[in-house]
Amino acid sequence: MTKLPTWADVVLVPLISLSLAAIVSALVLLAIGQSPREAISVMVDGAVGSPYAWGYTLYYATSFIFTGLAVTVAFHAGLFNIGGEGQAQMGGLGVALVCLALPWPHWTVALVAASLGAAAFGAAWAFIPAWLQAKRGSHIVITTIMFNYIAAALIVYMLVDVLRPDGQMDPATANFPPGTALPTLNQIPGLDLIFVKKVPANVSLFLALAAAALVWVLLWRTRLGYEIRAFGKSEAAARYAGINPVRITVIAMLISGALAGLMSVNNVMGEAGRLVQNSSEGAGFIGIAVALMGRNHPLGVILAALLFGFLYQGGAELGLWTSIPIELRIVVQGLVILFTGALDQMVRMMLGVVFRPRAAKAA
Amino acid sequence: MDYPMFLQLLDSTLRLATPLLLACLAGLFSERAGIFDIGLEGKMLMAAMSSGAVAYLTGSVWAGLAAAILGSMLFALLHGLASITFRGNQLISGVALNFVASGITVLIAQDLFGQGGRTPPLEGAARFNPIDLPFAQEVSGVPILGPFYAEVISGHTFLVYVAILLVPWSWWVLYRTRFGLRLRAVGENPASVDTAGVSVVRLRYAAVMITGVLCGLAGAYLATGLQAGFGREMTAGRGYIALAALIFAKWRPWYCLWACLLFGFLQALALRPDLIQNSIGISVPVPALDALPYVLTVVVLAGLVGKAIPPRAGGEPYVKER
C-alpha cells in the first residue's frame, strides 16, 4: 500500500472520513423521508447561528474536550480507555461530595476543590482496570466496560439510598450551595457583551483549554510523556529501554481517568448544580469519537470537540423544531467513529490509489 | 421462600437467561475465530427492532424472526468488512456499530410508526407464545419434580428451547467438526491455517455471520418473546452482560450456559428484592444485584478464580505475508 504524505494522513484522512459519515447520514435522512438540506440549516442555525447557540455548543464542547483528552492520553500509552463514561460519572460523585461538604465562600475556592475531587474520583475509578491490566493481564477494554456498569449501579445506590435528601422523590443530591455556582460566559466581564442571554457554557471551558495545553506539554515535552508514547508504540522496546510497564500503564490511566472525571466540573457543578443519574449522558463515549477524529492530538481534540458540540446542540434543535428524532446525532456519532476509527484503512487505500501515480512520477 | 416461589424465580431465570445465552453463543463463534465483538448489543437491538416492526406489519412472528436475522447479519457484515477486509480496529468497530444501532433503530421505528421510537404492541401470531411441553399437566402432581417440570421447564416460548439446544450444537460444531477445528485454529494461529491452504478471510466471515444469526435470534426473542414489541434501548446492556458471561465462561459453550443461567438468576433476583429480604433477612440493594455480573466478571478477569485466557489471535487483523 502506498504510504501517504504526512499532510494527507493528518488532514485529508479525517476530512474524508467525516465526509463519508456525513454522506451516509444524509442518505439515512433521505431514507426516512426527511430533507438533509433542511436538517443542516436547522443545525447550523441552532448551534452556531447566534451567540446564544454558541453558548450551548461550547458547553457541550467543554465536556467533550475533557473526555477526548482522556481517551487521547490512554491511546498514546496503547490503551483503549472505553470507561470514560463511568469515570466521568464517578467524577460527578466527587464533585457532589466536595460541593455539599462545606458552605463554600467563593466559586474560585470551590472550583479548585471540586476539580480535585472530580479528578481524584475519576482517577480512582480508572485505577483498578489499569492495575489489573498491568499486573494480571486483564484486557482493559473489557474491564473498563464492566466498570462503567458498576459505576452506574454505584451512583444509583448513592443517589437513592445515601445522598438523596429526606422528602425528595427523584434520585438526586440536594442542590449545591450558592457559593459553588460557576460563572457562565454571560456573567464574565467582557464576554457578557457577546453573550447577552444566559448560556450554560461556563468557566470550566477555560479549564478544559488549559487541560488540553497541559496534555500537549505532558505528552511531547516531558520525560513521562515520552515514556508513555514509547510504551504505546512498542511495549517490548519500551521495556528493553528500562521503562516500567506497570508504572506507565497505571500513570497513563490515572491521568486519563482524572481528565474524564474533570468533565463533571462542567456539567454537574457548572450546569445542573446537583448530581443526577447518568449525569454524563454519553459524553464519555463521545470522547472516543473526539479522540479518533482529532487524531489523538490536543489541538485536534479541541476542534473535534467543537464539531461534536455542534452536532449535539444541532441535534437537540432538530428534535425541537423538526420531526427528525434527536437520535440522529447518535447515528452520526457512530458513523464518525466507524469511518475514522475502524474503516480508516479503507480511506487510506482509496487515497493510496490517488497518490500512487504522483509518487511514481516523483521517483 | 417456599418451593412454588423458588420455582417462579427459576422460571424467570430461564426467560431472562435466554437472550444472554443466545448473544453469548453468538460472541463465542466470533471471538473463537479471532474477531472481538463488543457489538453484540447493537446487533441485538437492530434485530429486536426489525422483528418488532416486521412482525407487526405482517402479523407473522416467523417473518419477524427472518427480518431480525437479516438486520443483525447486516451489522455483522459491516463489522466483518471493517475488521477482516479493511483490517480496522475491531473494538472501535464494535463500539461504532453499537451507536449506529442505538440511533438508527429509533429513527426507523419512529419513521414507520410515529410512536416515539417504539413499535406497536404485538399480539397473537405476531409473537412467540408459550409452548406447553407434553404431559406438563399430567405430571404436575408428582412431588418436587412434577411442579418443576410444569413450571420451570414447560411453558416457555420457542426461542428459549432453541437457545438451550444451541449449546450442545455449538459444542458439537466447535469441537467435533472440521469447520470448528479450523475456526478455533484461526482464532489461535491464523498463519497455520493459512499455511494449510484454508482461507482465513472466509473462515472469519463465516464465524462473524454465525454471530449475526445468533444475535438475530437474541433480538427477536426480546421483541417477540420476552416482550411484545420493540422499545428504544430495549437491550438494556444485555449485549455487554453476554460479553461478560462469555469471559466468565472462558470462551467455552457449556460454561456459557452456566454463566448465563447465573447472570439470568441475578437479573431475576433484582426484579424481586423482597424475596432476598424474606429468605435471608438482609435487604440487599437492587443496584448491588445489577452490578454483580460485572463484578464477578472482573474477578474472573483478574484471575482470582481460575484464569480466563482469550483466543490468542483475538483482536488482531490477519495480514498475509508477502
Across the range A154-165, mean pLDDT stands at 89
- Average the pLDDT over B18-24 and give the result: 96
Mean pLDDT taken over chain A: 89
Q: Average pLDDT for residues B52-65, to the nearest whole number? A: 94
Mean pLDDT of B157-171: 95
Residue B262 has pLDDT above 80, yes or no: yes
Instruction: Quote the CA–CA distance of A203 and A67 in Å, as a whole number.
Output: 17
A156 lies in a domain?
yes
Of all residues in chain B, the percent with pLDDT exceeding 90 is 55
Distance from CA of B154 to the nearest CA of A (A): 33
* pLDDT value of residue A172: 86
Examine residue A52 and state whether it is found in any structural domain, yes or no: no
**Bigger pLDDT: A22 vs B269:** A22
Region B22-38: what's the mean pLDDT? 94
- Give mean pLDDT, residues B17-40: 94
The reply to whether residue A153 touches residue B301, judged by beta carbons under 8 angstroms, is no
Please say if the pLDDT value at position A363 is more than 60.
Answer: no
A284-325 confidence digits (pLDDT tens):
889 998 998 888 999 999 999 999 999 999 988 988 888 888
Contact B95 A285 (CB under 8 A): yes
> Of B49, B31, B38, B50, nearest to B97 (Cα)?
B38
B92 touching A (Cβ < 8 Å): yes
Greatest alpha-carbon pair distance for chain B in Å reads: 70
- Residue B161 pLDDT > 60, yes or no? yes
Among A75, A143, A343, the residue to mutate for chain B (most B Cβ within 10 A): A343
List, as own/partner pairs, every contact residues A292-296 make where C-beta atoms lie below 8 angstroms and the sequence separation is at least 24, other chains included. Answer: A292/A336, A292/A337, A292/A340, A292/A341, A292/B92, A293/A14, A293/A17, A293/A18, A293/A336, A293/A340, A294/A68, A294/A72, A295/A10, A295/A14, A296/A72, A296/A75, A296/A76
In this structure, is the dihedral angle defined by the CA atoms of residues B229, B155, B260 and B69, taken in order, positive or negative? negative
Using the beta-carbon criterion (under 8 Å), do B91 and A80 form an inter-chain contact?
A: yes
Of B93, B104, B244, the CB nearest to A331: B104
Query: DSSP states of A207-236 as a string?
Result: HHHHHHHHHHHHHHHSHHHHHHHHHHH-HH
Spell out which residues of chain A touch residue B297, defining contact as CB-CB under 8 Å. Answer: 142, 146
Domain of residue A191, residue span: 65-298
Q: How confident is the model at residue A92 (pLDDT cuts 50, 70, 90)?
A: very high
Alpha carbon distance A290, A303 (integer Å): 9
What would the DSSP string read from start to end of A310-359?
HHHHHHHHHHHHSSS-TTHHHHHHHHHHIIIIISHHHHHHHHHHHHHHHH
B188-216 pLDDT, tens digit per residue, is: 999 999 999 999 999 999 999 999 999 99
For residue A175, is it within any domain? Answer: yes
ipTM confidence score: 0.90
Chain A interface, best mutation among B31, B81, B100, B299, by max A CB count within 10 A? B100
User: How many domains does chain A contain in total?
Assistant: 1
| Chain A residues with CB-CB distance to B95 below 8 A | 82, 285, 288, 337, 341
Residues 160-189 of B with CB under 8 A from A: none
Q: Give CA–CA dist B135/A169, Å, rounded.
A: 49
Average pLDDT, chain B: 89
* Residue A33 falls inside a structural domain: no
Cβ–Cβ contact B305 with A under 8 A: no
Which residues in chain B (243-262) have CB-CB distances under 8 A to chain A? 243-244, 247
> How close B177 comes to chain A (CA, Å)?
30
The answer to whether B301 contacts A138, with C-beta atoms less than 8 Å apart, is: yes
- Dihedral sign, CA of B43, B45, B48, B52? negative
Q: Give the residue from A327, A332, A335, A339 with the most B CB atoms within 10 Å of its CB, the best one to mutate.
A: A327
pLDDT of residue A250: 95
Interchain CB contact of B72 with A (< 8 Å): no
Across A153-163, average pLDDT = 90
Distance from CA of B146 to the nearest CA of A (A): 38
Asked if residue A341 has pLDDT above 90, the reply is no
Give the separation between CA A27 and CA A32, rounded to whole angstroms. Answer: 9
Residues from chain B that touch A85, judged by Cβ atoms under 8 A, are none
Residues pairing with A202 in the sheet: A184
Most confident of A197-201, A259-263, B275-279: A259-263
- Is there a contact between A325 and B290 if contact means CB atoms under 8 Å apart? no
Rounded average pLDDT over A173-189:
85
For chain A, the helix, strand and coil percentages under 3-state DSSP, each to the nearest 5 = 75, 0, 25
Q: Which three cell numbers stand for residue B44?
A: 441485538
- pLDDT of residue B281 exceeding 60, the answer is yes
